[in-house]
Amino acid sequence: MRLDSPHINVIIKACMKASRFLIRDFGEIENLQVSSKAPGDFVTSADKRTEKIIVEELQKAQPNYGILTEESGILNGSNNKNRWIIDPIDGTMNFLNGIPQFAISIGYEENDEIKCGVIFNPITNEMFCAEKGNGAYLNNSRIRVSNKKKFQESLLVTGGPKQTSKIKEKIFSEYIKISKNVTNIRKFGSAALDMAYVASGRFDGYWQRELNYWDIAAGIIIVKEAGGFVNFFEQSEEDPIKKNILASNSNIHQNLKDLINKKDIE
**Is the model more confident about 245 or about 266?**
245
Mean pLDDT of the chain: 91
Residue type, 52: K
pTM (2 d.p.)? 0.93
| pLDDT higher than threshold 90 for residue 111 | yes
- Predicted local distance difference test score (pLDDT) of residue 38: 41
Alpha-carbon gap, residue 28 to 50, rounded angstroms: 15
Q: What is the pLDDT of residues 176-192, one digit of tens each?
A: 999 999 989 999 999 99
pLDDT tens digits for 205-218?
Answer: 999 999 999 999 99
What are the tens digits of pLDDT across the range 44-60? 688 899 999 999 999 99
SS3 101: coil
Q: Is residue 237 over pLDDT 60? A: yes
pLDDT at position 1: 54
For residue 266, what pLDDT is reported? 43
Cβ-Cβ contacts under 8 Å for 106 (sequence gap 6 or more): 11, 14, 15, 54, 58, 84, 85, 86, 87, 117, 118, 218
Strands (E), the chain: 34-38, 41-44, 66-69, 73-75, 82-90, 103-110, 113-121, 126-131, 135-138, 141-142, 155-158, 184-187, 205-212, 229-232, 242-248
CB 70 within 8 A of CB 38: no
What's the chain's Rg over C-alpha atoms?
Answer: 18
According to the model, what pLDDT value does residue 161 have?
92
pLDDT at residue 172 is higher than 50: yes
Q: Is the pLDDT of residue 42 over 70?
A: no
Does residue 9 register a pLDDT over 50? Answer: yes
* Least trusted range by pLDDT, from 114-123, 168-177, 254-263: 254-263
The pLDDT value given to residue 140: 87
What is the rounded CA–CA span in Å between residue 182 and residue 125? 31
| Predicted pLDDT of residue 31 | 56
Domains in the chain with CATH codes = 6-142 (3.30.540.10), 151-261 (3.40.190.80)
User: What is the reported pLDDT for 98?
Assistant: 86
pLDDT of amino acid 30: 58
CA separation, residue 89 to residues 12, 45, 197, 236, 265 (Å) = 15, 11, 17, 25, 35
Per-residue CA distances from 98 to 95, 108, 161, 252 (Å): 5, 29, 21, 34
Higher pLDDT, 9 or 263: 9
In the chain, what percentage of residues exceed pLDDT 70? 92
In whole angstroms, give the CA distance from residue 131 to residue 221.
7
Q: What are phi and psi of 53, to 5 degrees?
A: -65, -45
Please tell me the predicted confidence (pLDDT) of residue 39: 32
Question: Quick check: bond before 161 cis, omega within 30?
Answer: yes
